[in-house]
Chains A and B, each alone.
Chain A
């Protein structure tokens, strides 16, 4: 049972990892800072650890998919993120790929039935 749970846990983690970037990029069509993005994703049903999201935002920013700006908002400054032009292109492509994969998988599941 423990072996099965471990395998399931690892595979779920792999499955989720692939979609996390897409989910995050999709929300960054609007400007967000880290904490507001966590709350937005949680409200929409995608629970994510803060210590997973914040490094991810930084990585996407470094890759040029996001543009970031510091804004002084009382009581403390916040770093806001939004999709860059490259980010929009990549998101559109990834979304298309995801929808295609979803369709293919759906057909496979129907075949099994």
Chain B
């Protein structure tokens, strides 16, 4: 019998902290007996109010997922991603209207994970960031998504049918403007590059989805995590090492992700400047009946593993 626990955290990056700009990353999560959800959002740094926009997008993502779960009880039912994305847009617009926020304040990425204890689930990302899946044997799959000119697709670009966004990327839906970089980390072999794939504008607008079947989840999955692209901008620390360290939970009670991120940032600031950009992550853990609550220490670095 498995259930879920979830946690999330976000920290302001050095650039914003010193520039007097609020943190524009946000994260939320919820995990229990039957269902778990996690979301992150990263506001566009060149638009005003996207700190609020990112928060709205995270809250409406969770609200939309709950709505879907209440009705369908499965992450794979009834075009879940499309419905949730559409509901998220509608809820976000409504909230922004009541606050008098311009649409530009809603320019933020959005990623969410939605899992059921009996069906498995998925992670879906619109924009840029990192998805990580950690297995019970300690291995990890890391996937990073980037966009040309640091111009990711925001869900709310759908309001004009992505017209302006398509134009900003040269007008060609078949143009290769995104990159998907996949790695696998083995506990004994370190990081192995699976591939770097260019993706079209059309594929990028659709977003990126990682599905996990129930059997895979039950047998081998330990942790699912989504990160904003701030994880790729930590002074002196490769993004893959950062992901590994941020998923190396020493204990798993309560606010386990907050503790890990707080310590990670404190250590990163001793060694360098720490996170240069805002950083948010949300984590879902698969909790099995025999779990004791204290993780084994997995501190093998990329250097040690020879990657």
Q: Do A and B come together as binding partners?
A: no
